[in-house]
Amino acid sequence: MLRFLTHPNEDPDLAREYPKGTKIYGRKGTKYSRICATTTGHFKRCALDGCTGARVRVVWPDGQVRWLCTKGLSDGPRKGTYRLD
């Protein structure tokens, strides 16, 4: 059964690491590397078999909403930012 985390208080560690407004940059070495999404503060467990990560809801500049797995993110170009691997 998949449990959705809709409020940051349900998982304080995720809320501290990915607070609302955190910048997530595109993959390094691609034309998207300077484009950044912004986290919304909503989380849910990753549904992939064997994955222990969580999905973080982000909004891209063009308005697209995506759920990114925390296992696919690394440190970004600036402190407190992340990048897609």
State the residue range of the domain holding 80: 4-84
Give counts: helices (H), strands (E), the chain. Answer: 1, 7
46 phi and psi angles, rounded to 5 deg: -70, 135
Interior CA angle at 33 toward 32 and 35, to 5°?
A: 65
What is the identity of the amino acid at 6?
Answer: T
Q: What is the pLDDT of residues 7-58, one digit of tens each?
A: 544 555 666 777 889 999 988 888 778 888 999 988 888 888 888 888 899 9
Q: Is 38 exposed, middle or buried (0-12, 13-18, 19+ CB in 10 A)?
A: middle
Closest C-alpha among 58, 45, 39 to residue 11: 45
pTM of the shown model: 0.76
Task: Give the number of domains in the chain.
Answer: 1
DSSP 69: E
